[in-house]
Amino acid sequence: MVDKVKKIQSGDVRSASRLIRHIEDNVAEARSTMKDIFPLTGHSHVVGLTGPPGAGKSTLVDGLIDAFRKMGRTVGVIAVDPTSPFTGGAILGDRIRMQRHAEDPGVFVRSVATRGALGGLSRAVGDAIHIMDVMGKDVILVETVGTGQQEVDIMHYAHTVLVVLIPGMGDDIQAIKAGILEIASIFVINKAEREGSSKLRRELVTMLNMAPESAFPGGWRPPILKCDNAFEPSGFSQSVSDLALSINEHYEHLVSKSLIGNWSARKAATEFNEAIRCAILDPVLNDLMANGELDAMIGRLVNKETDPYTLAEEIATRYLKKMT
Amino acid sequence: MSEHIIRVMVAKPGLDGHDRGARVLARCFRDAGFEVIYTGCHQTPEQIAAAAIQEDVDVVGLSCLSGAHRYLFPAVVEQLRQRGADDIDVVGGGIIPDQDFQFLYDAGLKALFTPGEKLDDIVEWFRQNVKKRD
Amino acid sequence: MYFSKEVLESSSRMRQKWEDEVKKVIAKGPDQKPRWSTVSDLEIKRLYGPEDIQHMDFEQDIGYPGQFPFIRGNQPTGYRGKYWTFRMFSGMGNAKTTNERWHMLLREGQTGLSTAFDFPTLMGYDTDSPKARGECGKCGVAIDTLDDFMQLVDGIPMDQVTTSMTINPPATVLWAMYCAAAELKGIPLTKIGGTIQNDMLKEFIAQKTLMCPPDPSVKLVSDTVEFGAKHVPRWNTISISGYHIREAGATAVQELAFTLRDGMEYVEDVIRRKGLHVDAFAPRLSFFFNSHSDFFEEIAKLRAARRIWAKAMRDRYKSQDQRSWWMRFHTQTAGCSLTAQQPYNNVIRTATQALAAVLGGTQSLHTNSLDEVLCLPSDHAVQIALRTQQIIAEETGVANTIDPLAGSYFVESLTNELEEKAWEYIHKIDDMGGMVAAIEKGYPQLEIADAAYHFQKQIDAGEKIMVGINKYVSAEPSPIPLVEIDDTVEIEQIKSLEAVRRKRDDKAVKRSLEDIKNACKKGDNVMPHCIEAVKNFASVQEICDVYREVYGEYRDPGLY
């Protein structure tokens, strides 16, 4: 056990990727390994990237890897893609855009599927962040599609949250979950050479102007950065380096204004929430599923023989002695 | 409850860009409930091996239609071995003449699938042969 | 089409009677399968009649050969003046081996040359690049410098035979080599003829031979179009290709629509970027289609292609010159339809596909060899494939009369249907802002991936048949002799590349590469500088590295 943790601390990719796999597969021993991992965390700067599909997040991550490597920092990437609700399978294609870094020992890219609808995603991602942290990655980039509550939860693990938008997607801003706008540290207008870029910028400025001062802890007003066409190599890498600098600045801001504590509390709450659910709800549901009771209950609900509230109270009474 | 979902990497080594087969298979694996990591075209054996380890896949599926499989397939097996990951199986597909089969099996390929193979049969091979590892 | 009221009435009456008969027969025993469709899964009716084409306008929709809308062909004389060009795609190992194959084909009655390059050449790498390991000469000829190219065209009368080169991202470089070779042989550029494929859009859509991003890629294409229009008047500077789109799994409609929309994109780019009038270059645009297994669908596709292009050139781009309205195209039988199982069946497949291409009015044709599904074709297999064309041309009689299927209820109706469906796609892509924008969104790529997956599912379910694959499977192996390119080819090629590097004037190479770089940066035409560079023995990769440096490298987004 301790051996495993030591290996991860030394940066061993095999042990780390295997542990992440076991977390995803819900292997019991993995959870106890995480107990040893947790106290060792706290080294990395975690950066979340979210935004609508097609916003060019993976290409941006690829550029950021480059920029941080040039600063001499090691990078971990967690790229989240959706699982098909119909088949339970997934095609994880984000790393295609990052494959040029595959052989760089200072870069570790891991694709993660959202898997079941019951949650657990943000736990798996949270644990993967911890594992990369303990490996010693200086920056951890977490990429998700900003559409659901789970993704909002994931962003709670990030010190710095990038909301990536592109011009001409219609109601760009409305398309993003409100919760994510609230935690945005930096807005990125990607593919900024496209028509509608200034309009998008104006909309963001208006939105920020309407927000109360309390929305900007420590006085950090999210900057709005533009990234030009990724197909213009020199222009793109310049704007991505600027973005990397802005990401660093945000972290320094958190440190200098002693805001890391706020962030830690937010993260801890999310993490704890997940852990409790995992410790309480999952076993209960598994138990009910194993003996077929869950199906029977659903049948009763469909036939209106009972209501969900009464049923939930019954379950709580049965499993949570202390509460009754 | 532990839930082992098969993870497969679909990769195209070498310079040929004929990715029809690779893409059809990626979709087929997704529909079979696997998690598929697709690397895209034009990958070197080194890139494929490094990515397979980072992703902790069970199997690497290679597709090559350029005729360079005799060099590229064994090179991926060798790269995985050098990185201490010989427990990750490697299978191959594409335009592979019968007389090359034995050479590739000897080089460590676990299975070869050529045009005409049914998707269901390929999926079944994975279900039967992918073992849970510790 | 005009049918008198009487004809339509009697047809309607007789149709009713026939339908009643059909119902009776089906009641006794159903059809073999409930749904009949083309290989692209386009549903086909049991019977077509006058009512299916009654809305056609003879003058606008059919007409005569050599007249708008050219559905019946560009040439008033059809195949009587000249058969289509028998053009077999070939290239293997090194330049010397390929040159020998070319001389063999010319002796056997081939009328045009067509070059297959190996993957390092196609991707703009030299044979000694680490990325090229194991690939040299495997699927075509390896060309690193002009030294190789001179061997390739040794003894070839470049002022008499036209040569097609299947080359895309490095098209400027290989075409520069062809021009330089002609000049060294004392043949002026005005006398050489041929085609470079040079169609980058279909690479992003389907074949993935990729180097630079879409916009600068199209810029390089426009450079060649401009250079050709001014200096090499007999050269086709783009062969806008549906072949690879189809091979990637597209349906016939998708092949038609995406290819023609690609063509429109090039026209628009040259007009915008180079300021040329459409008629200054459009007559030199050529096309390249696939001829797949569904006989009538392919014939209808090729006929529809001519009509769509004529309409687009006349109405969309206001072209005045009829030669711009002509869609001139090469066809290749469908590689993806061939099977490694029972490989001799491929001879029959290729023959019927070639027949469809001819009935569709192709101007040039490659027929696949039976062993191409497994390896590079052997001399014997190539000869059978070439003979297939010669038999169609000179024994079957199909070339006696022009467009013999015109007026067929079914063929005209299917031609109309394919055209309508193609325009739907074309307009959709217009709405996205054109083909480059659509490609960046992944639209055509995903449409094709869907079609490919659908087809594979149909094969697996037995809804579509491939003989030897999912029906009439034989347990008996039927081995055929295979051509192998052994690894010494790679070693020898690297040696000769090193020798060229030793003997050339490095300063001159450096200077000419610098000139190309400046041209790229300023937006000037790179062609004159490329010709200079190859004459100084700059290699394919050295020039392509300049493009990669200035324009950046494109990485496939790998949409699925």
Question: What is B90-131 written as a DSSP string?
Answer: EEEEES--GGGHHHHHHTT--EEE-TT--HHHHHHHHHHHPP
Nearest C-alpha of chain B: how many angstroms from C210?
8
Same domain, C453 and C526: no
CB distance A87–B33 less than 8 Å? yes
Model pLDDT, residue A171: 57
Region C282-293 average pLDDT? 96
Nearest Cβ partner for B33 among A89, A109, A110: A89
**Which residues of chain A lie closer than 8 angstroms to C560, CB-CB?**
91, 93
Best of B28, B56, B119 to substitute, by most chain A Cβ atoms within 10 angstroms, is B56
| A40-259 has CATH 2.60.40.2140 classification | no
Distance from CA of C466 to the nearest CA of B (A): 9
In which band, very low, low, confident or very high, does the pLDDT at C398 lie, cut at 50, 70 and 90? very high
Give the N- to C-terminal CA distance of chain A in Å, as an integer. Answer: 38
Of residues A168 and C348, more confidently modeled: C348
| pLDDT-wise least confident of A225-234, C118-127, C286-295 | A225-234
Same domain membership, residue C532 and residue C393: no
Q: What is the 3-state secondary structure (H, E, C) of C21-62?
A: HHHHHHHHCCCCCCCCECCCCCECCCCCCHHHCCCCCHHHHH
Q: How confident is the model at residue C390 (pLDDT cuts 50, 70, 90)?
A: very high
Q: Which residues of C touch B119 (CB under 8 A)?
A: 456-457, 460
Q: For an interface test with A, which of C220, C555, C559 has the most A Cβ atoms less than 10 Å from its Cβ?
A: C555
Whether C343 and chain A come into contact, CB under 8 Å, resolves to no
Beta bridge partners of C235: C194
Residue C177 tokens read as 């080599």
Last residue of a domain, one of C461, C479, C513: C461
- Mean of the pLDDT values across residues C107-124? 94
Whichever domain contains C244, its CATH number is 3.20.20.240
Instruction: Specify whether C442 is located in the same domain as C543.
Output: no
* C189 & C151 share domain: yes
ipTM value: 0.94
Q: Determine, yes or no, domain membership for C25.
A: no
| Domains in chain B, CATH or no CATH each | 7-128 (3.40.50.280)
Specify whether the CB–CB gap between C135 and C120 falls below 8 A: yes
User: Is the Cβ of A93 closer than 8 Å to some Cβ of chain B?
Assistant: yes
Check residue A76 and give its pLDDT.
Answer: 98
C446 touches chain A (CB under 8 A): no
Please name the residue of chain A whose CA is at the shortest distance from the CA of residue C216.
Answer: A231
What pLDDT was estimated at residue C42?
97
The two three-digit tokens of residue C378, written as one number: 């052997």
Distance CA A298, CA A120 (A): 22
Look at residue C272 and tell me whether its pLDDT is greater than 80: yes
pLDDT on residue A148: 67
**In angstroms, what separates the C-alpha of B89 from chain C's closest C-alpha?**
22
CA distance C250 to chain B (A): 10
Residues C132, C262, single domain; the answer is: yes
Residue C442 half-sphere exposure, CB side, CA atoms within 13 Å?
12
The answer to the question of residue C3 being in a domain is no
Q: What is the pLDDT of residues C419-464, one digit of tens each?
A: 999 999 999 999 999 998 899 888 999 999 999 999 999 999 999 9
Mean pLDDT across the stretch C318-341?
Answer: 96
Structure tokens at A239: 């704007």
Nearest to B54 among A13, A83, A91 (CB): A13
Q: Report CA Rg, chain C.
A: 24
Residues C370 and C413 both lie in one domain? yes
What is the structure's pLDDT at A211? 83
Check if the beta carbon of residue A139 is closer than 8 Å to that of residue A47. yes
Q: Please, are residues C216 and C413 in contact by the beta-carbon 8 Å criterion?
A: no
Domain that holds residue C294: 58-461
Spatial strand order of the sheet with C238-241 comes to: C235-236, C194-196, C163-165, C112-115, C85-90, C364-366, C329-333, C285-291, C238-241
Query: CB–CB of B97 and C375 under 8 A?
Result: yes
Cβ neighbours around C500 below 10 Å, total: 15
| Same-domain pairing of C504 and C356 | no
- Clarify whether residues C166 and C300 are in a common domain: yes
Q: Which of C441, C461, C481 delimits the end of a domain?
A: C461
State yes or no: cis peptide before C157, omega within 30 of 0: no
Torsion angle, CA of B33/B37/B43/B45, rounded to 10 degrees? -80
Classify residue C15: in a domain, yes or no. no
Q: What are phi and psi of C119, to 5 degrees?
A: -65, -40
Q: Which residues pair with B93 in a beta bridge?
A: B63, B113
Please report the DSSP string for A128-189 in residue order.
Answer: HHHHHHHHT-SEEEEEEETTSHHHHHHHTT-SEEEEEE-TTSSSHHHHS-HHHHHH-SEEEE
Question: Is the alpha carbon torsion for C88, C261, B22, B69 positive or negative?
Answer: positive
- C-alpha separations of A147 from A51, A52, A144, C138 in Å: 8, 7, 9, 47
pLDDT number for residue A119 = 55
pLDDT in tens, B23-75: 999 999 999 999 999 998 999 999 999 999 999 999 999 999 988 899 999 99
Q: Quick one: pLDDT at residue C559?
A: 66
pLDDT at B1 over 60: no
Q: Is residue C477 part of a domain?
A: no
CA distance C556 to chain A (A): 8
d(CA C73, CA B77): 54
Note whether residue C97 is domain-resident: yes
Q: Quick check: C130 contacting A, CB < 8 Å?
A: no
pLDDT greater at residue B133 or residue C124: C124
pLDDT, one tens digit per residue, over A93-106 is 899 999 999 999 99
**Chain C residues closer than 8 Å to B99 by CB:** 482
Q: Give the tokens for residue A318.
A: 């049965």
| Chain C residue with Cα closest to A53 | C441
Domain range summary for chain A, segments of one domain joined by +: 40-259, 275-323
Helical segments of C154-203, H only: 171-184, 200-202
**What are the beta bridge partners of residue C239?**
C286
Q: In a 10 Å sphere around its CB, with 0-12 CB exposed, 13-18 middle and 19+ buried, how is residue A145 labelled?
A: middle
Q: Is C105 helix (H, G, I), strand (E, B) or coil?
A: helix
Q: Which residues of chain A have pLDDT under 50?
A: 324
Average pLDDT, chain C: 95
**Which pLDDT score is estimated for C205?**
92
Residue C7 counted as domain residue: no
In chain C, the number of structural domains is 2
C546 and C452 belong to one structural domain: no
Residue C1: pLDDT above 80?
no
Same structural domain, C445 and C514: no
- CB-CB neighbours of C498 under 10 Å: 12
Query: What percent of chain C is predicted at pLDDT more than 90?
Result: 90
Does C45 reside within a domain? no
Residue of C78, C58, C83 lying closest to C69 (CA atoms): C58
Whole-number pLDDT of residue C127: 97
Interface with C, mutate which of B8, B20, B70, B79 (most C CBs under 10 A): B20
A14, A108, A291, A294, best to mutate vs chain B, most B CBs in 10 Å: A14
C436 and C301 share one domain: yes
Whether C74 shows a pLDDT value over 90: the answer reads yes
Q: Are residues C216 and C265 in the same domain?
A: yes
CA separation for the pair C214, C262 (Å, rounded): 12
**How many angstroms separate the CA atoms of A156 and A265, rounded?**
10
Asked if residue C204 has pLDDT above 80, the reply is yes
Chain A residues touching B32 at Cβ < 8 A: 87, 89
What span, in angstroms and rounded, lies between the C-alpha atoms of A244 and A260? 19
The answer to whether residue A25 neighbours chain B at the CB level (below 8 Å) is yes
- Return the pLDDT at C82: 93
Which residues fall within 8 angstroms of residue C7, CB to CB, at 6 or more apart? C50
Q: Say which residue the tokens 């194993």 belong to.
A: A290
| CA distance, residue B31 to nearest chain C CA (Å) | 11
The number of CA neighbours under 13 Å toward the Cβ of C138 is 25
Predicted confidence (pLDDT) at residue C200 exceeds the cutoff of 80: yes
